[in-house]
Amino acid sequence: MGSPISTRRNWRHRLNLSSPGCAAKRVAVHFDVDVLEPAHYDFLVFRDPSATPDALQGVARGRMHFAQVSEILNAVASQVDIVVLAIAEYLPWSVVEFAKALNALPLLGCPEMALHASGSN
């Protein structure tokens, strides 16, 4: 297997799901959004606003753009049926923080939980 850059450029040569040795007619796809470039997407684990700068040091970071993922998945779909598309590691940090804040409101949550989640005493 080549470097990540050469792998990204040469994936088309490796994708042959209709070859005689491959009996797949349907596939399940697991799309982990952490393959995406963190600088361009704010819903990745690497963009956690509460994380310390070194919290994820040494963890591999994605380098792909969504257009590249789309191109690959559409190429797969041209050869076999994609019957499942699981999307993992989607972390909308603003939604997470908003959900925590809603716990402080009457009828919507538990004020004690909101204080605990925000780190207040």
pLDDT tens, the chain, 121 aa long: 344 444 556 677 677 776 777 778 899 999 999 999 999 998 998 888 888 989 989 988 999 999 999 999 999 999 899 999 999 999 898 888 888 888 888 877 766 655 555 555 4
Answer for the pair 114, 56: CB distance below 8 angstroms, yes or no.
Answer: no
- The domain limits of the chain are 4-90, 93-121
Instruction: Return the residue matching tokens 């509460």.
Output: 50
Answer for the pair 35, 87: CB distance below 8 angstroms, yes or no.
Answer: no
Q: Rounded to two decimals, what is the model's pTM? A: 0.69
Answer for the pair 73, 82: CB distance below 8 angstroms, yes or no.
Answer: yes
As to burial, measured by CB atoms within 10 angstroms (0-12 exposed, 13-18 middle, 19+ buried), residue 38 is middle
DSSP E strands: which ranges in the chain?
26-32, 81-88
Query: Which tokens is 64 given?
Result: 């792909």
In degrees and rounded to multiples of 5, residue 17 shows phi and psi of: -80, -5
